[in-house]
Amino acid sequence: MSVTVQEVYQNFLNHRTFLDSQTYRDIEAKIRKLKERFQFCTPFGRSNSGVSEIEEDIHNQITSLGKMIGDIPSKTKEELGKLIKDIEDITIRTLQTMERREKLLMK
């Protein structure tokens, strides 16, 4: 899955021209943090009660994040504000889900 996160991150970097510089910096930092978290997390597919469901949630969130980022070029200026908020929210939610997963694996 880290390859997918890397692709999502790279896709976001490719859409820099569609965002103002402050918005770009704010969101890029969050998505970079998510990418780094994936690089250093416990490998996926480990058996522990509840972990497989959380891993499925993480996969779905990353898929949604990638789709949202892919939609950036097609949005009007008015729509872009809401989309950026949604991207920020799902990135934060995914980071929180990753933390929950790690805590379960440490039990």
Ordered by start, the domain boundaries in the chain are 2-105
Residue 102 confidence (pLDDT): 84
Please state, in angstroms and as integers, the Cα–Cα distance from residue 27 to each residue in 23, 31, 40, 44, 88, following that order.
Answer: 6, 6, 20, 25, 6
Instruction: Quote the pTM value.
Output: 0.88
Residue 41 confidence (pLDDT): 78
Does residue 4 register a pLDDT over 90? no
> Is domain 2-105 given the CATH code 1.10.8 in the classification?
no
For the segment 73-102, the average pLDDT, to the nearest whole number, is 93
Distance CA 52, CA 47 (A): 7
